[in-house]
Structure 1
């Protein structure tokens, strides 16, 4: 093998190496992809069957975070940005939750009265 053959072999090797690197996503591409993951459209049920909702912010690793309604306004930040404990939102959430509970109990009382029963379950 002469010097020209060695140079030609080195050139072929470098070309092949460049092609292999072109097929592999760059670190920059992977980082960009990592930060631009598609958002979920919603959250399914938890392991315990509770319906979940999507937090507005993502985790530090850019994953979507889902919480249950029990985790809303419980004085523990479950969403990465703490939105589930926002005082303004919790003021409305807690008052609406209490009003809905009152309406539910009133409807049960009316239904029991209409059916002639006196047993109902309050929330």
Structure 2
């Protein structure tokens, strides 16, 4: 409870930012939702409030996600992939690549989702720094 009380003034005086997610280049609904969720989370961590009004700072978010097969098993099936994630905020772009493998079909989406989380963890600090610079630029 004390933690929330300490954060209350922080959120009352936080600057607002409006994020435009109209240019996310993926057909996978899970990936699209993960991109939106993570970018909004990083905006909050940088000290902004996500709110779209007339005089808020607007940032266009573009994202590109692709998986490239990297290893073919003895049975001629793809068993390893490299996940490429690129997130552009305004004029700056942040990207990461993460290899992952599918040892069997029983794991389904779990290795891919874990690789996506790893890619976001690799670009997290860069995105937070970007928003911190935007905050200082607007003052």
Q: Which has the higher contact order (CA 8 A, sep 6+)?
A: 2
| Structure with the largest fraction of helix | 1
By the TM > 0.5 criterion, same fold? no
Q: TM-score, normalised by structure 2?
A: 0.25
Q: TM-score, normalised by structure 1?
A: 0.27
